Amino acid sequence: MTNLGYALLGMLADESRTGYDLAQLMKQQVGYFWSAKHSQIYPELARLESEGLVAFEVIEQQDRPHKKLYHITPAGLEILRNWVTTPAESAPVRDELILKAYCIWLAEPEKAIELFKQEELRHRQQLAHYEQLYIWGEENLQREQRSKHSSLFGKYLSLARGIGHEREYAEWCRWVIEQLEKPDFF
Amino acid sequence: MTNLGYALLGMLADESRTGYDLAQLMKQQVGYFWSAKHSQIYPELARLESEGLVAFEVIEQQDRPHKKLYHITPAGLEILRNWVTTPAESAPVRDELILKAYCIWLAEPEKAIELFKQEELRHRQQLAHYEQLYIWGEENLQREQRSKHSSLFGKYLSLARGIGHEREYAEWCRWVIEQLEKPDFF
DNA sequence: CCTAACATGTAATCGGTTACATGATTCT
DNA sequence: AGAATCATGTAACCGATTACATGTTAGG
């Protein structure tokens, strides 16, 4: 099983979806921590189906093309449940901006400041976006949905991580700018 | 040019190194934000050499196999300098633990707590490691090396990012545990 | 004797992106 | 007339990992 497979099972555990729906979700919500293009999703769904972890029914539509609505099977739910609490394997980090930071001693400080100002702005904007989603969610949250067994719970945990991550990243950018603005010897 | 190419140029801008040395560096320092195995490094060095961005001299050694000591060329330094301050392209995030967090509503809370306790510990240990490196660096830092134009400057910026990242990650794990320990309705 | 460190490469495979391919409907 | 959304697929390519391959010396 691949991580993409688990990601798809996770989305289908919440509700039945088409390949197209799954690809859309990966441009929103889920895309903040896992993503894939439709060209990867369709073959992976076919693979999951061949292993009996998902199944689909063809929905015929007038005025729209037909679609395959996938749902998770009991076997799929079982391996997903088993996976969620097993330790995650640590993937190597590859962050282009930190790589640039490592080499920044070669650059003119003014240009470096400009770069980090742009990056800070980018992360502040993403932070504001996440915070807005968080507020909207809080407002519409019913009492019975405030359960560890509601799929909304998972959405909150992941959104909170996004907020913390973007805030921390933006603050590092700011700190880097401060270091670059300091005179060389003091 | 690939990011790996720039990473190698960045390491060679600091000082001349062999492919073996570069692979070792990517298990330490540089590996915290960019990594590659020797099987990827050797062909990439050959490619950089064919494009005139690096060059090497063969060092014959008694009692050790011969080695190729690579150094950056003026052309290599130029494209590296040009790259460092150009905006970084944002790569999609793929974090297995956040994916698990998203699906955690399917798990038994006790098992979920165990998972996040393990993960918190892992990040606290990595944080302690980074902080130790930071302290050692501070201690041995000479006045003339406290310049934006010293390669140590880049090492500090990247190390600071590692510290911030691990601290924030560990704190999120702790917060998740708190959410999981709360009674469902309160 | 076996393992670790030094030292350099190639081949097979895999996960993911980009591009190719098709086709209907709705909105501007 | 053209773009956007819905809807599903395949093919080529690329970056990265794992495994294959070789050979020396030092140390437990």
For chain A, say whether B7 makes contact (Cβ under 8 Å): yes
Domain with A132 in it:
96-181
Shared domain for A124 and A64, answered yes or no, is no
Please check whether residues B13 and B42 belong to one and the same domain: yes
Among residues B59, B84, B109, the one where a domain terminates is B84
Q: Is B83 on the interface with A (CB under 8 A)?
A: yes
Q: How far apart are CA A108 and CA A137, in angstroms?
A: 44
Closest nucleotide to B43, Cα to C1': C9
Same domain assignment for residues A112 and A177: yes
- Check A91 against B92: CB less than 8 A apart: no
Q: Please check the confidence at residue B30 and state whether its pLDDT lies above 70.
A: yes
Hey, are the CB atoms on B157 and A176 less than 8 Å from each other? yes
A110 in the same domain as A80? no
Name the band, by pLDDT with cuts 50, 70 and 90, for residue B62: confident
Last residue of a domain, one of B23, B50, B84: B84
Q: How many CB atoms lie within 10 A of CB A76?
A: 24
Residue B77 within any structural domain of the chain: yes
Whether A186 shows a pLDDT value over 80: the answer reads no
pLDDT at B64: 85
Burial track A91-126 (b if 16+ CB lie within 10 A, e otherwise) = eeeebbbbbbbbbbbbbebeebbebbeebbebbbeb
Nucleic strand D near CB of residue A27 (< 7 Å): no
Would you call B137 an interface residue with chain A, using a CB distance cutoff of 8 Å? Answer: no
B11 touches strand D (CB under 7 A): no
Query: Cβ of A160 under 8 Å from any chain B Cβ?
Result: yes
Q: Does B127 lie in the same domain as B68?
A: no
Residue A23 is assigned to a structural domain of this protein? yes
Contact (CB<8Å) A154/B118 = no
Query: Given this model, what pLDDT does residue B186 score?
Result: 63
Provide the 8-state DSSP code for A17.
Answer: B
Spatial CA neighbour of A107 closest among A56, A180, A2, A58: A180
Whether residue B84 is predicted with pLDDT greater than 70 in this model: the reply is yes
Together in a domain, A124 and A73: no
Assign B119 a pLDDT band (cuts: 50, 70, 90).
very high
Which of helix, strand or coil describes residue A26? Answer: coil
Q: What is the average pLDDT across B12-33?
A: 97
Whole-number percent of chain B with pLDDT over 70: 99
* Confidence label for A138 from pLDDT (cuts 50, 70 and 90): confident
B59 CA vs C14 C1’ separation (Å): 36
Those residues with Cβ within 8 angstroms of residue B2's Cβ, 6 or more apart along the chain or in another chain: B44
Quick one: A79 and A108 in the same domain?
Answer: no
Last residue of a domain, one of B84, B109, B135: B84
Instruction: Indicate if the pLDDT at residue A145 is higher than 90.
Output: no
Domain count, chain B: 2
Residues of chain B in contact with residue A100, where contact means CB-CB under 8 angstroms, are 83-85, 88
Residues A171 and A128 placed together within one structural domain of the fold: yes
Instruction: Give the model confidence (pLDDT) of A151-184 as tens digits.
Output: 999 999 999 999 999 999 999 999 999 999 999 8
C1’ D26 / CA B18, Å: 21
Q: Is residue B119 part of a domain?
A: yes
